Amino acid sequence: MATTKTDGNQSFRQDDGGVAEHQDLINSIDDSKATENTISHSRRKFLRGLGKVGAAAVGAAAPSVGKPAWGGEKLKDVVGDFFQDHYQRMSPEEVKEALARIERKAKRKFGVDISCENTPPQQGVVYGYALDISKCQGYRDCVTACVKENNHGRDSQVQYIRVLELDHGDLNFEHSDHYYDPETVPREGKWYIPVQCQQCEDPPCVKACPVEATWKEPDGIVVVDYNWCIGCRYCMTACPYWARHFNWTDPQIPSEEINPKTHYLGNRPRPIGVVEKCHFCIQRTRKGLQPACMEACPTGARVFGNLLDPNSEIRYILENKTVFRLKEDLGTEPKFWYFTG
Ligand code: SF4
């Protein structure tokens, strides 16, 4: 029998040999209030439990395309998710099926037609970001644009960008406040610095992940396979920049606010219980667009581009301005630079 323990604000279940987990799946499918996200996150538990109750026939049927004899589309998608392989190991056909499942699930959950793509990295491109801190006024327009573009749960308050407010002359981020809420900004005597994933060239978050659910792509973007993440949060502990965020609740987004243009490794709807982070708007930048935060910045503080292009604006800044990176002594080699003027 499975028992539930409470540990702070999260709960977990003791192992009972997998039988209760199999029953959980059946209950979840029957329960109209259960979310597919919750079911998806239990993939490994399901697989273990399934083997123990001898339901191999379901497994054998799972990868088949078309309407299965043993269930409808929703059940087929649930089982398809459980048997889905790591993104980097999937065949093109398996990726196509995974993308179709994501689109169908979004339609069922939000009532919206989305497109989920897997646009690959461009040859000869490594992305970098630079930010002029003398221009940042603390408006947080970048934060708002990021939330909308990247389909953040509106209830969870997950935000990829933290704009830190500090006293003039104070460079100690331990003294910063990213919950500042005055009537107007900038406040006198304060300065502001936005911090998000630094897309480290040597990312400690990747090394910390025990299941290789996060990795660095050839264009330098550190990505997460939300279907493979087990929610252990080791990556959050390893990140020195507070850049990773955990979905404690099932992300809720009003249907009319869903951004329907999504990428598998980017802004597709995420389930409860996984870690996410800034991915330089991979759904936009791999198509030659600018990140949403850069487009939204009213002061022109942000510069994004291809580090391998000697004629790019970001290369000009790196070669002609006095730039610095956060916590350089850690050797993480961020591809995010700060400068003034
Ligand atoms: Fe990983 Fe944090 Fe570096 Fe981003 S900033 S690549 S989450 S260690």
Shared-domain flag, residues 231 and 327: yes
CA–centroid distance, residue 249 to ligand 1 (Å): 22
Q: What is the pLDDT of residues 5-16, one digit of tens each?
A: 333 333 323 333
**b/e code 247-269 from CB counts within 10 Å (16+ = b):** beebbebeeeebbeebbbbbbbb
| Protein residue whose Cα sits closest to atom 4 of ligand 1 | 197
Cβ of 239 less than 6 Å from ligand 1: yes
Cβ of 222 less than 6 Å from ligand 1: yes
Cβ of 332 less than 6 Å from ligand 1: yes
**Of residues 156 and 148, more confidently modeled:** 148
Mutate to test the pocket of ligand 1, among 212, 246, 277 (most ligand atoms within 8 A of CB): 277
Domain assignment present for 133: yes
Average pLDDT over the chain reads 86
Tell me the mean pLDDT in the region 94-117.
97
Tell me the mean pLDDT in the region 171-192.
96
Shared-domain flag, residues 106 and 135: no
CA–centroid distance, residue 19 to ligand 1 (Å): 38
Shared-domain flag, residues 89 and 127: no
**What amino acid occupies position 209?**
C
Domain assignment present for 102: yes
pLDDT value of residue 341: 86
pLDDT value of residue 72: 86
CA–centroid distance, residue 160 to ligand 1 (Å): 11
Please check whether residue 232 is in contact with residue 44, taking contact to mean a CB–CB distance below 8 angstroms. Answer: no
**Of residues 27 and 197, more confidently modeled:** 197
Question: Distance from CA of residue 295 to its chain's centroid?
Answer: 20
Q: What is the pLDDT of residues 184-238, one digit of tens each?
A: 999 999 999 999 999 999 999 999 999 999 999 999 999 999 999 999 999 999 9
Domain assignment present for 5: no
Q: What is the position in ligand 1's atom list of the atom closest to the CA of 216?
A: 6
Q: What is the position in ligand 1's atom list of the atom closest to the CA of 332?
A: 3
Tell me the mean pLDDT in the region 309-334.
98
Distance CA 111, CA 107 (A): 4
The band of 62, judged by pLDDT with boundaries at 50, 70 and 90, is very low
Shared-domain flag, residues 127 and 104: no
Shared-domain flag, residues 108 and 150: no
| Protein residue whose Cα sits closest to atom 3 of ligand 1 | 200
Residue 51 predicted with pLDDT over 60: no
Distance CA 143, CA 288 (A): 21
pLDDT value of residue 9: 33
Percent of the chain with pLDDT strictly greater than 70:
79
Total number of domains constituting the chain: 2
Q: What is the position in ligand 1's atom list of the atom closest to the CA of 222?
A: 6
Please check whether residue 148 is in contact with residue 257, taking contact to mean a CB–CB distance below 8 angstroms. Answer: yes
Where does a domain end: 117, 142, 157? 117
Closest among 81, 79, 73 to 107, alpha carbons compared: 73
Closest among 158, 78, 88, 84 to 121, alpha carbons compared: 88
Bridge partner list, 215:
223
Residue 305 predicted with pLDDT over 80: yes
Cβ of 268 less than 6 Å from ligand 1: no
Residue 91's domain comprises 14-117
